[in-house]
A and B are shown apart, each in its own frame.
Chain A
Amino acid sequence: MIEVNEDYCKGCNLCILYCPRDALVESEELNKKGVHPPVEVEDRCNGCRLCELICPDFAIVVVEDDRLPKMKRTKKCSGMIK
Chain B
Amino acid sequence: MADKNEVDVIDGKQLQDKYLREEMMPHIFCNGCGLGNVLDYVLWAVEKEGLDLDKTVFLSGIGCSSRIPGYINADALHTTHGRALAFATGVKMANPDLNVIVFTGDGDCIGIGGNHFIHALRRNLDITVIAVNNYIYGMTGGQVAPTTPEGHIGTTAPYGNIEPPFDMCEMAKAAGATYVARWPVFRPHQPINSIREGIRNKGLSFIEMMSPCTTAYGRRNRFRKIEDLWAFYEDKTILIEEYDKIDRFGTEEEKEELDDKIKIGVFKRSTRKPLEERYRDLLEEFK
- Which A residues fall within an 8 A CB radius of B? 3, 7-8, 10-14, 17-18, 49-50, 52-64, 75, 78-82
Contacts and interface: CB of A to CB of B under 8 A. Distances in A.
Contacts of B25: 8, 58
Nearest to A52: B12
A82 B36 contact: no
Q: Which 5 pairs from chain A and chain B are nearest by CB?
A: A56-B36, A53-B188, A10-B31, A61-B12, A8-B26
A3 B2 CA distance: 28
A13 B226 contact: yes
Interface string B225-242: 011001000000000000
Contacts of B245: none
B188 A54 contact: yes
Contacts of B11: 61-64
A52 to B, nearest CB: 5
A79 B20 contact: no
Nearest to B194: A82
Contacts of A54: 37, 186, 188
B201 to A, nearest CB: 16
B36 A14 contact: no
Interface of B: 1-3, 6, 9, 11-13, 16, 20, 25-27, 29-37, 40-41, 44, 48, 185-186, 188-190, 193, 226-227, 230
A79 B226 contact: no
Given A49-B12, A59-B26, 13 more contacts: A14-B230, A52-B12, A55-B40, A56-B40, A56-B185, A58-B26, A58-B40, A61-B11, A75-B9, A79-B3, A79-B6, A80-B1, A82-B190
A63 B13 CA distance: 8
A78 B189 contact: yes
Contacts of A62: 11-12
B192 to A, nearest CB: 8
21 contacts: A7-B26, A10-B30, A10-B31, A14-B32, A14-B230, A53-B40, A53-B189, A54-B186, A55-B37, A57-B29, A58-B12, A58-B36, A58-B40, A61-B13, A62-B11, A75-B9, A79-B2, A79-B3, A79-B6, A82-B1, A82-B193
A18 B37 CA distance: 14
Given A13-B226, A78-B189, A58 B1 contact: no
A13 B193 contact: no
A80 B9 CA distance: 13
B12 A56 contact: no
A55 B32 CA distance: 9
Contacts of A12: 31-32, 226
A71 to B, nearest CB: 10
Contacts of A61: 11-13, 16
